[in-house]
Amino acid sequence: MQVTFSAAVAGASGYAGGEMLRLLLAHPDAVVGAVTAHGNAGQRLGTQHAHLVPLADRVLEPTSVESLAGHDVVVLALPHGASGELTAALEAAGSEALVLDLGADHRLTDAAAWEAFYGSAHAGAWPYGMPELILTGGTTRQRDVLRGARQIAVPGCNVTAVTLALQPGVAAGVVDPGDVVAVLAVGYSGAGKAAKPHLLAAEGLGSLAPYAVGGTHRHIPEIEQNLRAAGAGQVRLSFTPVLAPVARGILATVTAPLAPGADAGSVRAAWAQAYDGEPFVHLLPEGSWPTTAMVTGANTALVQVAVDERAGRVVAVCAIDNLVKGTAGAAVQSMNLALGLPETAGLSTVGVAP
């Protein structure tokens, strides 16, 4: 007998919340419960997400403990800093729901790093929602931690792309994580749905725009945390994201020095071994490079790696859809593990093209 679960989505009018609803609609065991919002409460969901036809007539409820209580799963697609208080209120009300936080509130284990980059009190760390994250020694993955979890912190989208690009080399000791350089092309949906002048079509179309330059991006400590989890000692990271005039997608180009004694053969072997058997992370055949078009709409991360012999550096490239593998897809994947369901339930590696 098939057992279903009900899932409520807070912040359902935003891009991440809408993508979460799209994936839940495709999940064989999910029933969509309450959909809530703040400024858009009282509106039909279809006014914000016309593509979600089965849910178009749902009315967005105010985000409150009352609207979210009683569900098996609660997804928080809220601004940074908003999840901690709401989660505490749910616990006080006796909720036993699995809570998935799509925001940053519970990702970092270092309270000082949180306070330095986010400027507020640390809400505490939850189990980290990247099943493929390699843990020190390379023999276990984060998915083992997620089984049976009741609170999960979903990773940042840029973090996912950089981590999946480089972690095999860190775990295998074939790169030096003391000099990592990451440059990312990022689709505009990663900036959220709020109306801002620099996000207007007139400003963005035909233009590439760097942002959070010079070590200021909030995803930096999270990337460093993941590389340390994979076995790095000291991590030194230069991280530069660039807004690209596309709706979805991240293309991360990550380089690091080749470790002494390593060569092109050992580098490729490290990536091949790390992702052998992974359902959603794939190392492409040699000579084929990832593009964001390859992963649009899919929970897939495509990776390629090469050695720049003249520079003495490893070059790794990863493409993901920032709203799927970078956010909602990672949440569903982690949710499946926590609920004891097949990890791949409701998720596809088939993209949309052209």
- How many residues can be counted in the chain? 354
Q: Please give the Cα distance from 347 to 160 (Å, whole number).
A: 17
Retrieve residue 92's tokens.
């006080």
CATH architecture entry for 158-320: 2-Layer Sandwich (3.30)
Average pLDDT, integer, range 222-241 = 97
- The 3-state DSSP class for residue 139 equals coil
Asked if 254 and 165 count as a contact pair (C-beta separation under 8 A), the reply is yes
Taking the domains of the chain in order of start, what are their residue ranges?
5-154+327-339, 158-320
Is the pLDDT at 192 greater than 90? The verdict is no
- The 3-state DSSP class for residue 3 equals coil
Active-site option among 157, 244, 251, 301: 157
What value does the mean pLDDT of the chain take? Answer: 95
pLDDT at 2: 59
Phi-psi label, residue 340: left if phi above 0, alpha if psi -120 to 50, beta otherwise: left
Asked if 326 and 316 count as a contact pair (C-beta separation under 8 A), the reply is no
Average pLDDT, integer, range 8-26 = 97
**Segment among 92-96, 108-112, 334-338, 347-351 with least mean pLDDT:** 92-96
What CATH number labels 5-154+327-339?
A: 3.40.50.720
Confidence of residue 193 (pLDDT cuts 50, 70, 90): confident
Place of tokens 């967005």: 60
Strand arrangement of the beta sheet that strand 98-101 belongs to: 61-62, 30-37, 5-10, 73-76, 98-101, 151-153
157 part of the active site:
yes
Asked if 173 and 167 count as a contact pair (C-beta separation under 8 A), the reply is no
pLDDT at 194: 77
Q: Please give the Cα distance from 125 to 123 (Å, whole number).
A: 7
Place of tokens 């709020």: 194
pLDDT digits (tens, 9 = 90+) for 262-307: 999 999 999 999 999 999 999 999 999 999 999 999 999 999 999 9
Please classify residue 65 by burial: count the beta carbons closer than 10 Å to its beta carbon, then call 0-12 exposed, 13-18 middle and 19+ buried: middle
pLDDT at 1: 42
Is the pLDDT at 249 greater than 90? The verdict is yes
CA dihedral 169, 171, 176, 179 (to 10 degrees): 90
Average pLDDT, integer, range 153-171 = 98
**44: Cβ contacts below 8 Å, ≥ 6 apart:** 56, 57, 58, 59, 60
Is the pLDDT at 127 greater than 80? The verdict is yes
